[in-house]
Amino acid sequence: MEDDTWLSIGDLARRTGLAVKTIRYYADRGIVPPAGRSAAGHRRYRADSAARLTFVRTLRDLGLDLETIRKVVDREATLPDVAAQHADALAVQIRVLRIRRALLQAVTERGSTPEAMATVPALATMAERERRELINTFLDGVFGGAVSDAAVHGIMRTLTPELPDEPEPEQITAWLELAELMQDNEFRKVMTGVTDHFAADRAHHGAGVHRDTAAVICDLVGPALTASIDPVSPEAASVVDEVVATFARVVDLPVGPQARRRLLDWVALVADPRRERYLELLAVVNGWSAPETLSPVFNWLERAVAAQQ
C-alpha cells in the first residue's frame, strides 16, 4: 500500500489548479522535481510540492522568468534581491510603455505623416546625455555661450527643459514638440534677437538689478488694455509715446522714428507665437504652472505703434 503522503501529478494539478502539462514542464526544468516514482514509473510528489508550485505560480504571475524562479526556490538567490532587480526592470519597461503611449498620442493629436514621424521615436527615447547635448546646443546658440553674467546664466536656467526620469505622457508629448522647436533655425534667430536685446538692456543699465523691458512695457500698456482703448485711436497715442520713450532709453537712441522702428522689430520678436509656445511647452515638461500670455499686450502695442508711424 502506498504512503498517502505521496501525490500523483494529477492530484497535484487538482490541488494547485495548474495543468498537468505545466507541472510536468516545471519538473523537467528542475523547479519542482518529483520526489520519487511509483512502481509503474509515474511521478510522485510530496505534499509540500503543492506549496512550492503555488509559490512558483505567484512568481510567474509577477513576471519572473523560470531560471530566476529556480534559483529562488533552490535558495541560490534570495527573494528580496530578485524582487528588487525585477522591480528595477519593470520600472524600465513602464518608462518604455509611457513613451510608446505618448508617441501614439502625439500621432493622434498631431496627425503626423510618415515622413514627420521619422524623427519622433529618436526624440522621445533620447538618453539623458543626448537630450542635454541638444538643449545645450540650442541655448549656446541663442546666448552665444556667454554665461559669465549671473543674470544671463539665470535666464538660461529658466529656459532649460528638465524631463523627469518618469515623465507623464503629456510631458513626453511636450518634449517632442519642444525638441523640434529647438532645431528650428528660424526660431533660434527669434530667440537670439530677444537675448541680444536683453544683453543691450544689461549693458545700458550696468550690472545692477533692473526690471526686464517686457515687464515695464506690460505695465505701461496694461491699463490701456483694461480700458479697452482701441490701439489705432488717438487715445492710444500717449501710451505709445511713453512706451517709445522708455524703449529709446533702453536701446540708447533718441526718441523718434528710429526708436519706433527698433521697438516694432523687438515687439515682432517677443510676440512671435513660437516663443510663447516654447514657454508653454517648457512649463509642461518641467511641471511648472502655465505661463501668463503676453500676446494681447504685444499685439495691441504692435498695432498702436504702426498706427502712429
CA angle 306, 308, 309 (to 5 degrees): 65
Helix 128-143 to helix 169-182 angle (10° resolution) is 40
The set of cell numbers assigned to 265 is 522689430
Confidence of residue 185 (pLDDT cuts 50, 70, 90): very high
Q: How high is the pLDDT of residue 209?
A: 40
Q: What is the DSSP string of 182-244?
A: HT-HHHHHHHHHHHHHHHHHHHHH-SS----HHHHHHHHHHHHHHTT--TTSGGGHHHHHHHH
pLDDT at 33 over 90: no
pLDDT at 265 over 70: yes
pLDDT at 147 over 60: no
pLDDT at 161 over 70: yes
Q: How high is the pLDDT of residue 119?
A: 60
Confidence of residue 208 (pLDDT cuts 50, 70, 90): very low
Burial of 199 (0-12, 13-18, 19+ CB in 10 A): middle
Confidence of residue 200 (pLDDT cuts 50, 70, 90): low
pLDDT at 199 over 80: no
Report domain extents, the chain.
7-63, 80-121, 126-307
pLDDT at 269 over 80: yes
pLDDT at 37 over 90: no
What percentage of residues in the chain have a pLDDT greater than 90?
27
Rounded Cα distance between 248 and 238, Å, is 15
pLDDT at 188 over 80: yes
Q: Pick the more confident residue, 212 or 164.
A: 164
Q: How high is the pLDDT of residue 75?
A: 85
Q: How high is the pLDDT of residue 164?
A: 85
Q: How high is the pLDDT of residue 7?
A: 86
Radius of gyration of the chain (CA): 33
Confidence of residue 187 (pLDDT cuts 50, 70, 90): very high
Q: How high is the pLDDT of residue 277?
A: 95
Determine which of 155-159, 229-233, 239-243 has the lowest per-residue pLDDT on average.
Answer: 155-159
Q: Pick the more confident residue, 220 or 173.
A: 220
Confidence of residue 306 (pLDDT cuts 50, 70, 90): confident
Rounded Cα distance between 185 and 202, Å, is 25
Cα within 13 Å of Cα(121), Cβ side = 6
pLDDT tens digit string along 78-87?
A: 888 888 888 8
Rounded Cα distance between 112 and 175, Å, is 16
CATH 1.10.1660.10 for domain 7-63: yes
What percentage of residues in the chain have a pLDDT greater than 70?
86
Q: How high is the pLDDT of residue 131?
A: 87
pLDDT at 145 over 80: no
Mean pLDDT of the chain: 83
Sequence-distant (6+) residues with CB within 8 A of 172 are: 98, 99, 102, 103, 106, 124, 163
